[in-house]
Structure 1
Amino acid sequence: MVRGVNQGTGKLLPFLGMSVAMLTQSGSMVVIKFAMSDGVNKYVMVVYSMAFSSFLLLPFALFLHRSQVPPLTFSALGSFFLLAIFVSSAQITSYFGIELSSPTLASAILNLVPAFTFVLALIFRMEKVHWRHSSSQAKVLGTIVSICGAFVVILYKGPLILRTHASKISMKLQFSAQANWILGGICCVADSFFTSSWYIYQAWIAKKYPAVTVILFFQFLFSTIQCGVFALISVRDPTEWELNFGTGLIVILYQAIVATMLRYILCTWCVHRAGPLFCAMFKPVGIIFTVVMSATFLGDSFGLGSLIGAVIIVVGFYAVLWGKSREENNTEKRVENLESSCHNVPLLQNRA
């Protein structure tokens, strides 16, 4: 009886953890859109959020697994700086995309990350394609389907399914809104590409420098510097850097504490308890959360094109995951067969 309860809790807690993680991600997009609508500068928001995140990670980087941290070399710092470039680029394009389009589109486009990651892994020979295997066929086909779904979301809005009071815009603004929607979608695609590049490069760095908290700290620190330089060039008005006890400060605290720290802790814990595939399966759940929150708090509409495109992206997303999981299962079976044969060989040799 106790064993059954423990097994049920072991399955329920990762489910709740990933649900909360996706909720914080969707909330982050809605909060960003609300802050920018309220006049908070997007570049200033990125700088302050990154700075506060690095400040929060400093104690963990200094004291967590201190004896196991490899020495910091110039090569390691250079790798962290390049890793931070991907983070900074992803943050800036994400904020810009959300400002021009909507959190719903940004959430849907994020499901392109597995497809882009697979393509980059092929380019850098971290993945192999065996055209006769169903797993490889599923990954390639899923990648193509996901990219096609992204084009549908960006280029076709369609009739409104969920209409709010904010959906009634004049005909003069429709062309401008459509142009902004497409440009915002392109920025969200760029965000997914930079995020995928970050995954690939981070995997390479983690093999040489396994201290995750140290990597994250320097990543956020260098991103603060990079985004700060970019913001100083782009934002000429000194008053936009002022933080009042209002929307700007609340958003920065939310981004640093909830959207970054809490989500990172939950995802890391869930990956450890349930595995990366289980956590990746929750990615499309963010679309549902974002649609509901955007309509409730921002009055955003939801068009047929967004629904069709999101469904296509999710189908491609799960095809890539299915191919990857099947490939991993086949690899595990081959390893088990190899180990069993290795155990049997000495017995045969001894009998001979």
Structure 2
Amino acid sequence: MKIIKKFETYAWSWTGDVLPFVAMLMLICCDMGVLTIAKAAMNSGLGSISYVVYHNAFGTLILLPFYILHLFRNAGRPRLTFHILFRLFILGLLGLCLFQVLVYIGVNYSSPTLSSAITNLIPGNTFLIAAVFRMDRIDTRSLSSLARLLGTIIAICGAMVCTFYQGPQILQTTPSPDSPNQVLLSQPSNWVFGGLIIFIAGIFRSMYYVLQTATAREYHDQQTIVFFYCLFGTIQCIALSPFLEPDPKAWVVEPGIRLTAVVLGAVYSTAFHSSIVTWCLRKKGPVFVTMFSPFSIVTALILGVTFLGDSLHLGSIIGATIITAGFYSVMWGQVKEKKNSPEMIGEDSAVIDECGLSDENAPLLP
């Protein structure tokens, strides 16, 4: 009777319970949709480096007027020193330039499905790197700490299965040769090389989260951090681009799928994605936001098979399942650790705690 009464007294709230759930599911679908369109643009001849440069340059231009308005409205903001600027330069290098360049190179060689699977390793990698820098600890006597460590190992094993074992083909769509969507189809891929590149990109992203946490503690103006992070990362991408993408044809943005990918990616990630994530964080917290990340694997798989003609292999399903199990093990240990020891890293350091999602502009996926 007590259980029934408690259940009856709990009233579901549309804005507090239903809407955040729907928003996060839509966000995952949109994330994978944008990534699928970017992959289609690369299949049509747009270079992966070109996409990263155009995408981030356009996104930085969108942020510029908002940052100028922020400067006028916040006269008492912290002083921006050379030390902080150098930190932001390194953040741009790790979290934007190296991460995005390597991820999109990896996607170009493999698929959005593999990218979405391997990037779910980031929470575990972040935990290990934070432990190395003594911003977190591994206590073998603690069940939560062991769950995080074991979950990281399980997720890495799943990523190895995804990368090195494709297995028999289960499903593939085969459009007719005269199909208008023929240009979207995935090109022959180097699955293993692409997977390794994406894994290395995830290591850089984890390093970014650790450094970003330390920077956010020292400098509390979040909008300044985000703007200069994007600005420096874009400049670094432009500086590297002639060496990584010398083919002039790969820089041509023709009307159609190439232009759509660049504009949609910049506008969506700058405006809509960050706004939805911030709202869901405020309503439900970082654990709720993070728990949806593995659903990106399923979404990417469906979109890849449907629109890119990707093959569905047994290895992808097994590896993705293992990664998801490891991911939730890390998240369970993370939540348990916070309940038992809230001062573990500091009350203002949810960036590491929940794979960076307390950073209002940190994407679920690249």
Normalising by structure 1, report the TM-score: 0.87
- What pairs up with 1:90-169 in 2 under 5 angstroms? 90-165=99-174
Shift of 1:242: 3.4
Q: Distance in 1 between the 2:192 and 2:12 partners?
A: 49
Q: In the superposition, relative to structure 1, how do residues 61 and 11 fare at CA in structure 2: closer, same or farther (>3 Å)?
A: same
Selected match of 1:24 from 30, 38, 57: 30
Question: What amino acid sits opposite 2:52 in the alignment?
Answer: V
Identity %: 39
Query: Could you list the per-position Cα deviations for residues 147-186 of structure 1 after superposition, in whole angstroms to 9, with x for gaps in the alignment?
Result: 01100000000112222227xxxxxxxxx967x1000000
Quote the residue 1:84 is aligned against: 92
Q: In structure 2, what is the equivalent of residue 192 of structure 1?
A: 202
Where does 1:317-336 land on structure 2 (aligned, <5 Å)? 317-331=327-341
Question: Structure 2 vs 1, CA of residues 191 and 332 (structure 1 numbering), >3 Å: closer, same or farther?
Answer: closer
CA drift at 1:45: 1.0
**d(CA) in 2 for partners of 1:253, 1:69:** 32
Structure 2: which 5+ runs fail to align? 1-8, 176-186, 345-366
Structure with bigger helix share is 1
TM-aligned CA deviation for residue 131 of structure 1 = 0.9
Q: State the partner residue of 2:353.
A: none
Counterpart CA distance in 2 for 1:299 and 1:241 is 25
Instruction: Give the structure with higher Rg (CA).
Output: 1
Letter matched to residue 87 of structure 2: S
3-state DSSP of counterpart to 1:165 = coil
* Structure 1 equivalent of residue 257 of structure 2: 247
Gapped regions of structure 1 (runs ≥ 5): 167-175, 335-352
Partner SS, residue 161 of structure 1: strand
1:15 aligns with 2:21: yes
Q: Deviations over 1:77-102 (max 9, x none)?
A: 11111000011001011111101111
Q: Secondary structure at the match of 2:170?
A: strand
One-letter code of the match for 2:200? Answer: A
Matches of 1:83 and 1:103 in 2, distance apart? 24
Moved over 4 A (4+): 3-6
Cα distance in 1 between the residues matched to 2:323 and 2:45: 32
Alpha-carbon distance in 2 for matches of 1:213, 1:306 = 38
Moved more, 229-238 or 151-160: 229-238
Q: Which stretch of the first structure deviates more once superposed, 221-230 or 59-68?
A: 59-68
- The match for 1:53 is 59
Inter-CA distance 236–132: structure 2 relative to 1 (3 Å threshold): closer
Alignment-mate amino acid for residue 81 of structure 2: T
CA distance in 2, matches of 1:34, 1:82: 31
| Alignment partners' CA distance in 2, 1:140 and 1:89 | 26
Check conservation: 2:162, 2:318, Cα contact below 8 A: yes
Q: Is the 8 A contact 1:60 1:213 kept in 2?
A: no
Verify the 8 A CA contact 2:37 2:257 in the aligned structure 1. no
Shift of residue 327 of structure 1?
Answer: 1.0
Q: Residue in 2 aligned with 1:73?
A: 81
My pick for the range that moved more, 94-103 or 195-204, is 195-204
Query: For the Cα contact (< 8 Å) 2:63–2:270, is it kept in 1?
Result: no
| Cα distance in 2 between the residues matched to 1:246 and 1:105 | 26
Deviation per CA, 1:306-339, whole angstroms, max 9, x where unpaired?
00000000000000000110111112599xxxxx
CA distance in structure 2 between the aligned counterparts of 1:105 and 1:161, rounded to whole angstroms: 16
**Equivalent residue for 1:215?**
225
TM-score by length of 2: 0.83
Tell which deviates more after alignment, 299-308 or 18-27. 18-27
- The Cα shift of 1:48 comes to 0.9
Alignment CA distance shift 1:239-1:184 (3 Å)? closer
Equivalent position to 2:47, from 22, 41, 47: 41
